Structure 1
């Protein structure tokens, strides 16, 4: 039936975008590539306002980075005539990459956030057609001291507060976590308790290489962070972070996911160390906590016993299925996995794709 719910997944890779579709999140059909040989560093699926819009942050080797969108599940793609994201002329800066695309809540239709390289936040109020630079973060007095992580200098995580539109958290490499309490007009570092062991002072005010942040489903003051060494939780919107790494086989990694409805349920994918950057012991597994990081359990059913490929921060996602949520991720070895039971078992969606950079999934009807 045309009105039966389906799940679609957008898979951005180093050399194009693939789209997967499933009725049961067990058997998948794959189509693509779209944008062959073009890097797709970020994707988003926006199901607000009664439509399904797929957004992609592409990086054309000749024309440079751009945000494109499709309202017909990839049959056609559109791009704002003069570019959706552009730095204003007075900044004397060019956009290098769109690392992260984040639709806001259903109560804020049309609002889409973008985290970019160089370190910057952009905001759209027309569903990604046009974005405006957040001047508060761009003009921050710390900006000259922010550095580049291994992959570049970028804002890679944006977390709007589900209750208060004035509160926004953003994380960057390198710089750490910053919070705005006035809708983005001003920003303050919020890194107390997060380590930066590559500095003489391992707990500076800012400068941490935070790899990803996300918010709890039920308590918007509770956030989680996967750091460059360290896994953390805050229960006061970032004023103080505590370690929740006990019980994990390693505290390095890039991925951190939070259940969209159930508070305290989260996932991470530990990697051995910043030196080796492989799944622990070459065994690809997720670790899930149902008590906000107090304890962890391994999830491995259906995943490779031997795999030495990294899962990048934007290459993992959850859907918002009304039953058990789906868990999705892709590796730099080009394999994509999906679970329809919150990680208890996985199936392989795709194999031998180019390096997977970004993954998003959503349930759609029609």
Structure 2
């Protein structure tokens, strides 16, 4: 595979984390990619963050070794070299009696908070870095929350898998976890409140509890920070009041189960999901993989499958999908069968850019200057 550094100018970066390593690709047209990898061969890569603030590009990856355990590594030269703090980027304080199991989410904050990077981890916890993701501090407000003893583990583990800092209010942060649901802080993480009203938990004795929902992924509207979208373990929802209440937008989808939720980088009302049959099947409906897009905030959905393999019985996991910030927006996702697709036209058509990888766990995309 060619050296990424051979390219220059405006470039599209695609990062793919798998059960056995990381692949990094660049492209001039979002269809033909030059990839390097695998980086971190035989290590699980469940999370990736691409930080392009200040016209610099830092790639952060959650790395999990069966022998050495989990950590966060970063590269400032598109993967040519990697740096890991000597004592680990994320280490639980001794008084917690806990040990890090997996880094599920790496999320750079907004342009107004340079250097701030968030991480969501297993056991369920949220961490904040102020030095670009080199060292993280445990958020004690969430760790000491009275609900924590009752948070459970989803099928993949006990995951704080989504961290959404508000782009306009540095005090507001939303997180989602499996299982536990959506929580919101309005005081920069000092305290947290469950915000799940309207999200069903039909698998529990109380179908609408305060918390305990298995929310698979949430995403924020690009223009109205108080509008959020959620893919639940059965249920697709939208909130227009900062997650105080949620309303179903699943009508028009072939199934309300799935793992992914993406929103457009600029246009309100546009979101993408990948429906999966559940609970006894866990495959795309009829073995026909497809992305579904709404352009009216969930009032209707359009099925998109041009360029996707048929049939395909593989699932797309919660972080194995991404959008970029180009116009039109690029849409990307990878399957547990090891195929990675790219679309340069918001999902109207897809091209397979990688095949026969290990299980794809995480996909991230960005527009960068080389």
TM-score bracket for this pair, using the shorter chain length: over 0.9
Supply the distance in 2 between the matched residues of 1:268 and 1:320 (Cα, whole angstroms).
Answer: 18
Aligned partner of residue 79 in structure 1, secondary structure: coil
Question: What does the per-residue CA deviation read over 1:151-177, in whole Å, with 9 as the maximum and x for residues that have no partner?
Answer: 001100111111101010000010000
1:10, 1:19 within 8 Å by CA — same for their partners in 2? Answer: yes
Supply the distance in 2 between the matched residues of 1:303 and 1:259 (Cα, whole angstroms).
Answer: 21
Alignment of 1:114-263 (within 5 A): 114-263=119-268
Question: What does the per-residue CA deviation read over 1:196-235, in whole Å, with 9 as the maximum and x for residues that have no partner?
Answer: 0111110000000000001111111000000000000000
Aligned partner of residue 236 in structure 1, secondary structure: coil
State which drifts further: 215-224 or 272-281: 272-281
State which drifts further: 47-56 or 116-125: 47-56
Aligned partner of residue 142 in structure 2, secondary structure: helix
Q: Is 1:85 equivalent to 2:90 in the alignment?
A: yes
Superposition deviation, residue 49 in structure 1:
2.1
Q: Is 1:52 equivalent to 2:57 in the alignment?
A: yes
Correspondent of 1:65 among 66, 70, 85: 70
Correspondent of 1:361 among 355, 361, 365: 365
The residue that corresponds to 1:329 in the other structure is 333
Supply the distance in 1 between the matched residues of 2:8 and 2:53 (Cα, whole angstroms).
Answer: 17
- TM-score scaled by structure 1? 0.98
- Unaligned 5+ segments in structure 2 are 1-5
The residue that corresponds to 2:3 in the other structure is none
Alignment of 1:14-29 (within 5 A): 14-29=19-34
The residue that corresponds to 1:308 in the other structure is 313
| C-alpha RMSD of the superposition | 0.9
Q: Is 1:36 equivalent to 2:41 in the alignment?
A: yes
Aligned partner of residue 62 in structure 2, secondary structure: strand
Question: What does the per-residue CA deviation read over 1:265-286, in whole Å, with 9 as the maximum and x for residues that have no partner?
Answer: 1000000112211111111110
Runs of 4+ in 1 over 3 A off after TM superposition: none
Aligned partner of residue 78 in structure 1, secondary structure: coil
Superposition deviation, residue 131 in structure 1:
0.4
State which drifts further: 271-280 or 240-249: 271-280
Supply the distance in 1 between the matched residues of 2:89 and 2:149 (Cα, whole angstroms).
Answer: 26
Q: Is 1:348 equivalent to 2:355 in the alignment?
A: no
2:55, 2:369 within 8 Å by CA — same for their partners in 1? Answer: no
- Unaligned 5+ segments in structure 1 are none
Question: What does the per-residue CA deviation read over 1:56-78, in whole Å, with 9 as the maximum and x for residues that have no partner?
Answer: 00001111000000000010000
The residue that corresponds to 2:287 in the other structure is 282
Aligned partner of residue 362 in structure 1, secondary structure: strand
2:128, 2:139 within 8 Å by CA — same for their partners in 1? Answer: yes
